[in-house]
Structure 1
Amino acid sequence: MKKLSFKFLILFAVLAVISCSKKEDPIDQPTTPLTLVLSSDVGPGELEVVGINTIAMFTITGSDGEDYTNSSQLFVNDQEISGSTYEFTQTGRFSVKAVYEGITSNILSFEVLEPSERVLIVDVPKALRNQTITFKLLDDQGNDSAPEADFFVNGEAITGNTFSTATPGDFEVYANYVANDDPYTSATKNFQVFVPKRKVVIEDYTGTWCGFCPAVAVAIDEAREATEHVAVVAIHKTSSTIPDPMDFPRIQELQDMFGIDNGFPKAQLNRTTSWVNPYPMDRVLSMAGNDTDVAIGINSQLTGSNLTVKVKVVYENGSAPGDKLVVYLLENDIVSPQVNYFNETPGHPYEGLGNPIENYVHNDALRNSLSDLFGDAIPNKPAFEKFEKEYSFSVPSNYVGDNLSFVVMVVDSDNTAKNAQFSKINENKDYE
């Protein structure tokens, strides 16, 4: 009986340790930090065209519904001003932002004009093929004088103030107009027409304890050397006896959904297709960079521990029922020993690096899912209509902010990735 009781106590102690480690895990659920929205009485847009001596009044509202106007700092062209109003006494472009206890708001832009000046606006600076692009020509009161102007795209006159083409490429536009009976030519603006290129999602189910897992890392390195059109996610799991510092607590949910057993390494392409040893590169390259009809953009901002991520999606042919948006937060440059069964394999890239490799650098480690783990529903969207969604997250202190990155996927009703995008922290990654 004493022997059985001793075993029971050991088992209880082990279970208690495991239970505590899970409970204290800081990445269990995303939390929502405070964000600020800056607005003005001049107009609702992020770019307002105004005349000389216009006075703008600003308001700062928090995501908690509170008014932070009197407790925030206002900056015009990065110079702090006093109060919550500003008079634009010179022509040019001005940017305005608010800061409260290290939290930065959105940025408002103002174009200040003389009465004879006009600002040419391209409503879609990066457009899909056959997407209609509309040009505006705003005066110092913000009125659109485009109907009275003549527009030229790549030096050729066009009819009206809209343009579309099936030919991808870089374009420029300018306008001729008349003000006070005198002829003028606007500044030239550039825009682009593009076809989205498919990024292949490679998900690496791995662990620092897994001696054969570097084989997938080598294959991923080869894929990245061959093409820029891959988005990589390394999903770590703690073994039954050896902890992994990058353990993703919800990995079992992914394994259950995609039928992945514990015989690591395991690699998946576009979530649902197994990529098995010897990890043939043609499986990736046959898809990477192909034309597709959905594009993804990512814009992130990390201020202190407050992370805001804005994702935009646009379709050339409209969304499909069941489409979802997956937003993953990753961390790079994590140094941790990696077991290496290839240490004595002649000719292998990991030959002679040691077993374990003591200062192994891990990249693309999945830290958290800012969306639902399997994606947030994308509403029905017609062709060319942009879908946008914003995520906020309070970054735990054990993450290194500068090393964070993102992989965003649009997946179909079967959870297969239709396209993906990746970006670094504080990067504005446009459609590609």
Structure 2
Amino acid sequence: MKGNRVKIFILAFIVPVLLITCSKEEKLLNISSIELESENTTVLLGETVVIKAVNQDGVDITNEVDIYVDNAKIEGPDFVASEVGEIYVRAKYNKVSSPFLKITVLENITSLTLSVDHETIKPTNYDVATFTVVNQDGDDVTAAVTFFKGDEEYESNTFTTDQLGVYEFSAAYEGIASNSITISSALSISSLSLTADRFTIPANDNTFAELIALDQDEDTVSNFVSYFNGSSELEGPAFHSGEIGSHSITAKYEGIESNELIISAEKQKNRKVLIEEFTGEWCGWCPQAAYNLDQLVQSDPNVLTVGIHNGDGLAYANEALIRNSFGINYFPSGIVGRVYLGQEVGFNDPVLSNDVLEEVDRQINKEEVLAGISIASSYTGGEAFVDVNVKFYQTIDEEVNITIYLIENEVVSGSQENYFSGYSGYETSPFYNLPGTIEDYEHNYVLRKAGTDALGDEIPSDQTAKDNTYSFGTKTISISGIDPANSYIIAFVSYDIHGDNKSILNAQQVKLGESIGYDE
């Protein structure tokens, strides 16, 4: 029996060892090739060389392999270069070996000579001067030295610039300084050609055509020439105009004149701005905001609005989802073309805030219109049918979505709280002489349904190219309990609401049962 106990004990001891051994080998089975790397393959006598090993997937396996220097295994990945000449390093793991990595060891530096392949370069940021440094024996020690531009340390052995000027460079190693070299960044223009990133722009003050000037070598010299619209000098290599028509643009440099470039400024395409207001019947400050926005909509056909209700009988289920996307937690509040202006901007002031009016003006008159929208709508029984097309006037590279709202006017639902009743400072408000709770209050622009996801449906990226028209297809919306005679369809195209730029490119509205084309 004692013998059996001994045998059992031995087996119990051996099995865990085997398991541990198998586990380690299985971990390393992914090493099918090895590559060696070193920050410097040319070093000076006495310097430390650090070796790194990676596998076929680029994973660091330095601690898993054996490293050999001139066929002698070393402990760890570091060694000191103790002899002048060439050292050959390789790594092994089982039967897998790396290619040899050659390390060149040079004598200690006693003198340095700095040279450069180009003493004159163009200020183009891609005309490159490359430095080389050799020691007293003519050995290349570029990787070992520190470069200086003037008196300041410079981190590269190459130099480019987009500025005209004269620059002095030198190199040093442990107190040993090289000669100095001067590099000139200069222009020698014998001919100019002028082009632009676009030849048609909308006639506004904020959309520019970038002007591109090329010299005889087709190198860009845009920042060094003067530009003219006819005889009027421009401020720089960009052109805009609020004047509709063709404009003759030229570039000049020291008596050399470019070709004539014609850029057309066309009538600005129409843009409509959608203001989304967050409201509720329980919110006593909200009636004035609704009134202010209604006054704006009535005075400007390019302004649309929608009331998105919270916590009442007209509440829209995804109101908080939209509002929280802008970090808004108060009522009344709003976003102008999906641009949030901040809590200090009041929609419920006695007169609508100038900040809101200025943002509306900016979007309508001062931004390029990138897309247009057409809507066809009909209804029968308890269903509405909506077809939306989007025409892209410029290519959009970011993700854009389309959203369809169904809104209803003249909706009477419950009672509306009114904090403006007798409230000092609001004597001119239409709500000043009304009771604190208004019964049978009529709501307009109420968001009742969405024909898309609340945050919009994505337009495929291959459909957002310039001059392409994207057909969204027919969307069916239930209008049960909704008066179609008082209902409208709003469609808008916007950047993805999860991005930094959430703004609306354009919006369109049509009475339910009718159609509207592109506002061009």
Match of 1:342 in 2: 420
Q: Which amino acid aligns with 2:362?
A: S
Q: Tell me if 1:400 matches 2:483.
A: yes
* Match among 381, 395, 418 for residue 304 of structure 1: 381
SS across alignment from 2:363: coil
Q: Which amino acid aligns with 1:267?
A: G
1:198-234 deviation digits (Å, cap 9, x = unpaired): 2112111000111001221132123224421112111
SS across alignment from 1:223: helix
Q: CA deviation at 1:398?
A: 1.4
* Match among 358, 361, 365 for residue 282 of structure 1: 358
What pairs up with 1:10-25 in 2 under 5 angstroms?
none
SS across alignment from 1:222: helix
Q: Which amino acid aligns with 1:399?
A: I
Alpha-carbon distance between aligned partners in 2 of 1:194 and 1:406, rounded to the nearest angstrom: 27
> Are 1:196 and 1:431, in contact at CA under 8 Å, matched by a contact in 2?
no
Q: Which amino acid aligns with 1:202?
A: I
Q: CA deviation at 1:285?
A: 2.6
SS across alignment from 2:439: coil
Match of 1:423 in 2: 510
Match of 2:263 in 1: none
What pairs up with 1:75-86 in 2 under 5 angstroms?
none
> Are 2:297 and 2:305, in contact at CA under 8 Å, matched by a contact in 1?
no
Alpha-carbon distance between aligned partners in 1 of 2:484 and 2:434, rounded to the nearest angstrom: 29
**Higher deviation after alignment, 283-292 or 350-359:** 283-292
Q: TM-score, normalization: structure 2?
A: 0.43
Q: CA deviation at 1:403?
A: 1.8
What pairs up with 1:113-128 in 2 under 5 angstroms?
none
Q: Which amino acid aligns with 1:352?
A: N
Q: CA deviation at 1:257?
A: 1.5
> Are 1:216 and 1:267, in contact at CA under 8 Å, matched by a contact in 2?
no
What pairs up with 1:138-287 in 2 under 5 angstroms?
195-238=268-311, 244-261=312-329, 263-274=330-341, 276-277=345-346, 278=349, 279-280=353-354, 281-287=357-363
Alpha-carbon distance between aligned partners in 1 of 2:477 and 2:318, rounded to the nearest angstrom: 19
Q: Tell me if 1:324 matches 2:401.
A: yes
Gaps of 5+ in 2: 1-199, 202-242, 246-265
From the superposition, tell whether residues 360 and 427 of structure 1 become closer, same or farther in structure 2 (CA, over 3 Å): same
Q: CA deviation at 1:358?
A: 1.8
**Higher deviation after alignment, 278-287 or 250-259:** 278-287
Aligned length: 239
SS across alignment from 2:434: coil
Q: CA deviation at 1:324?
A: 1.0
* Match among 469, 494, 501 for residue 386 of structure 1: 469
Alpha-carbon distance between aligned partners in 2 of 1:322 and 1:347, rounded to the nearest angstrom: 45
Q: CA deviation at 1:394?
A: 4.7
Q: CA deviation at 1:283?
A: 2.7
From the superposition, tell whether residues 207 and 221 of structure 1 become closer, same or farther in structure 2 (CA, over 3 Å): same
Alpha-carbon distance between aligned partners in 2 of 1:167 and 1:300, rounded to the nearest angstrom: 35
Q: CA deviation at 1:289?
A: 4.6
1:219-268 deviation digits (Å, cap 9, x = unpaired): 21232244211121110011xxxxx121111112112222111x211111
Alpha-carbon distance between aligned partners in 2 of 1:310 and 1:323, rounded to the nearest angstrom: 18
Q: CA deviation at 1:375?
A: 1.4
From the superposition, tell whether residues 427 and 320 of structure 1 become closer, same or farther in structure 2 (CA, over 3 Å): farther
Q: CA deviation at 1:326?
A: 1.0
**Higher deviation after alignment, 197-206 or 318-327:** 318-327
> Are 1:342 and 1:351, in contact at CA under 8 Å, matched by a contact in 2?
yes
Q: CA deviation at 1:396?
A: 4.3
- Compute the RMSD of aligned alpha carbons: 2.4
1:274-294 deviation digits (Å, cap 9, x = unpaired): 362143222323323555121
From the superposition, tell whether residues 288 and 394 of structure 1 become closer, same or farther in structure 2 (CA, over 3 Å): closer
Alpha-carbon distance between aligned partners in 1 of 2:269 and 2:397, rounded to the nearest angstrom: 17
Q: Which amino acid aligns with 2:333?
A: K
> Are 1:370 and 1:391, in contact at CA under 8 Å, matched by a contact in 2?
no
Structure 1 segments of 4 or more deviating over 4 A?
none
From the superposition, tell whether residues 342 and 219 of structure 1 become closer, same or farther in structure 2 (CA, over 3 Å): same
Match of 2:135 in 1: none
SS across alignment from 1:314: strand
Instruction: Flag the structure with larger Rg.
Output: 2
Alpha-carbon distance between aligned partners in 2 of 1:375 and 1:209, rounded to the nearest angstrom: 28
Gaps of 5+ in 1: 1-128, 131-165, 169-192, 239-243
Alpha-carbon distance between aligned partners in 2 of 1:235 and 1:208, rounded to the nearest angstrom: 11
Q: CA deviation at 1:302?
A: 0.3
Q: CA deviation at 1:195?
A: 4.4
Q: Which amino acid aligns with 1:327?
A: I
> Are 1:196 and 1:294, in contact at CA under 8 Å, matched by a contact in 2?
no
> Are 1:323 and 1:410, in contact at CA under 8 Å, matched by a contact in 2?
yes
Alpha-carbon distance between aligned partners in 2 of 1:321 and 1:311, rounded to the nearest angstrom: 20
SS across alignment from 2:513: coil
Alpha-carbon distance between aligned partners in 2 of 1:283 and 1:330, rounded to the nearest angstrom: 23
